[in-house]
Amino acid sequence: MALTGRLVETDLSAGAWVATALRPAEEHVVGSLVPPVFPAYARVFHPAARYAGLEDVDVSWTEVAAGNRTVAHPAMEWGSITGALEYFEEADQSPLWDGAPARGHLPEGVAARLAAVLARHTATPGDCWFGVWAGSPAITADGPTLALPGREHWLVRGPVDLASANLAPEPHEQSANLWWPADRAWYVATDIDLVTTYVGGSVACIEDLLDAPGLEVARVEPGQRTTWDADTVNPPPFDAD
């Protein structure tokens, strides 16, 4: 079966380097999601949404933290800056924000802006690999899967702008969970359980992301934890065990 009109790849050898390089899943660090082989790393925060009529307005984590009198920093976690784990779901803090950040899915606009930056930092923008989690109940495909620590992914191949495509049948939404160019200049991971995306690349690439308009990005290290309780600056969510 095809994803976005593209056949699932049967030769997965191009992803072998990823499986070899990743740190164990149980470490729950950036290097468990993005191979720790790059000079620099970044965290891209999925925006919350404020409903304005028929339009959704992106709300940054920095704005949400300010509204909750918490601290915005590279290791901040959504539950900690809002004060409650329930805010990962349907609950809101209107009028500050109405919709929580997308979990396990890179919003189309963010993906397009991210891809536009990353396209400048690869010699193969027209030849990239994209993986989608094989455990999604909304997606069914035939073909072998790339086994990574804790996750299995179907792979498809296409240009870098495929990053903003919906890989799930309507009305579901699902971006690629991982993508990288054929020259391995960078790597992007959006884990199914997280509301942020991680990127590894050259120093120049990460600097470009930090300066990109329309993206909220922070520099991180491969050893930074990715769990909901990784924020040691703000108080833990009030309903945390």
pLDDT value, residue 54: 81
Q: Are residues 35 and 55 in the same domain?
A: no
Considering its fold, how many domains does the chain have in total?
2
pLDDT value, residue 225: 97
At a CB cut-off of 8 Å and minimum separation 6, what does 162 contact? 4, 6, 128, 130, 156, 176, 179
Q: Are residues 77 and 130 in the same domain?
A: no
pLDDT value, residue 117: 98
Q: Are residues 30 and 144 in the same domain?
A: yes
Q: Are residues 110 and 206 in the same domain?
A: yes
Has residue 96 been placed in a domain? no
pLDDT value, residue 6: 79
Q: Are residues 133 and 40 in the same domain?
A: yes
Q: Is the pTM of this model over 0.85?
A: yes
The residue out of 58, 88, 118 marking a domain boundary is 88
Mean pLDDT per 10-residue section of the chain, whose length is 241 residues:
78 96 97 98 97 91 98 98 92 94 96 98 98 90 92 96 91 94 98 97 98 97 97 85 49
Has residue 225 been placed in a domain? no
Tell me the pLDDT tens digit for each residue of 125-156: 999 999 999 998 888 888 899 999 989 999 99
Q: Are residues 71 and 160 in the same domain?
A: no
Has residue 13 been placed in a domain? yes
Tell me the pLDDT tens digit for each residue of 168-203: 888 888 999 999 999 999 999 999 999 999 999 999
Which residue range is the domain that position 10 belongs to? 2-44+103-220
pLDDT value, residue 89: 86
Has residue 227 been placed in a domain? no
Q: Which residues pair with 143 in a beta bridge?
A: none
Q: Are residues 57 and 26 in the same domain?
A: no
Contact indicator for 30, 24 with CB cutoff of 8 Å: no
Distance CA 47, CA 208 (A): 19
Q: Are residues 29 and 118 in the same domain?
A: yes
The residue out of 27, 57, 88 marking a domain boundary is 88
Contact indicator for 180, 17 with CB cutoff of 8 Å: no
Distance CA 126, CA 129 (A): 10
pLDDT value, residue 2: 60
Q: Are residues 81 and 156 in the same domain?
A: no
